């Protein structure tokens, strides 16, 4: 499996494409809002001859869902989200204009993600792990053979996801990190929803929130 990342929108959100030798591709957290951002994502997909087969959100805060409708309209694929974050997603339409995203288009999930559920595409299978605290329905995607986690806004380099948004809870987030991420090997790479990638070991040793 290959992980290709893009940084989009005013929140500097990381969007990821997961793809493998079959050319099948999963779009994770499309934050592309402007036409230029949408074109950048589409151009990469076309250049590498990828076939988008699925859209997933780690969670449904505005910065991670701005491009959902674009992906669905362009590729007509299933869209999966943990059911505990459906309300989070539906709320985005009410506040998007106040954040400067007046052209935001809502999109409705066609299915759900759940803990332990395999996420399959091409020759690849990832494990869905439930990690609430930043958002009530937050999940992460773990690929054991490659030792990679697509982590959304749970764990960052030297930091953790904020918990002051609706549905957030600090104690829950810390527990999620301890049970769903720190139980993984130290050499697992964490691709976060913002900022650079890190490793489980680096955060275990030096993240001030985990000491």
Summarize pLDDT for 106-140 with one digit per residue, the tens: 999 999 999 999 999 999 999 999 999 999 999 99
Count: domains in the chain:
1
Residue numbers of the domain that contains 115: 2-210
- Structure confidence at residue 195 (pLDDT): 98
Residue 148's domain is classified under what CATH number?
A: 3.60.15.10
Instruction: Write the Ramachandran bin of 95: left for phi over 0, alpha for psi from -120 to 50, otherwise beta.
Output: alpha
Number of residues that make up the chain = 211
From CA 102, how far away is CA 114, in angstroms rounded?
32
From CA 104, how far away is CA 91, in angstroms rounded?
12
- Structure confidence at residue 188 (pLDDT): 98
Q: What is the pLDDT of residues 160-206, one digit of tens each?
A: 999 999 999 999 999 999 999 999 999 999 999 999 999 999 999 99
pTM listed for this prediction: 0.98
From CA 13, how far away is CA 192, in angstroms rounded?
9
Average pLDDT over residues 4-29: 98
- Structure confidence at residue 29 (pLDDT): 99
Per the prediction, the chain carries an average pLDDT of 98
């Amino acid at each position: 499996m290959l992980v290709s990342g893009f940084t989009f929108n005013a929140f500097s959100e990381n969007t990821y494409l997961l793809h493998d030798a079959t050319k099948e591709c999963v779009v994770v957290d499309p934050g592309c809002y402007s036409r230029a951002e949408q074109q950048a994502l589409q151009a990469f997909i076309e250049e590498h001859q990828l076939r988008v087969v699925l859209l997933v959100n780690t969670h449904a805060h505005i910065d991670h869902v701005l491009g959902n409708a674009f992906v669905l309209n362009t590729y007509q694929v299933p869209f999966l989200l943990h059911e505990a974050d459906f309300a989070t997603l539906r709320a985005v339409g009410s506040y998007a204009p106040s954040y400067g995203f007046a052209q935001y288009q809502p999109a409705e999930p066609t299915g759900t993600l759940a803990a332990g559920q395999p996420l399959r595409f091409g020759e690849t299978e990832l494990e869905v792990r439930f990690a609430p605290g930043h958002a009530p329905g937050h999940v992460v995607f773990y690929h054991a053979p490659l030792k990679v986690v697509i982590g959304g806004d749970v764990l960052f380099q030297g930091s953790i996801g904020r918990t002051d948004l609706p549905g957030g809870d600090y104690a829950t987030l810390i527990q999620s990190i301890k049970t769903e991420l720190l139980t993984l090997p130290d050499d697992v790479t964490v691709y976060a929803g913002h900022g650079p990638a890190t490793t489980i070991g680096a955060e275990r040793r030096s993240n001030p929130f985990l000491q």
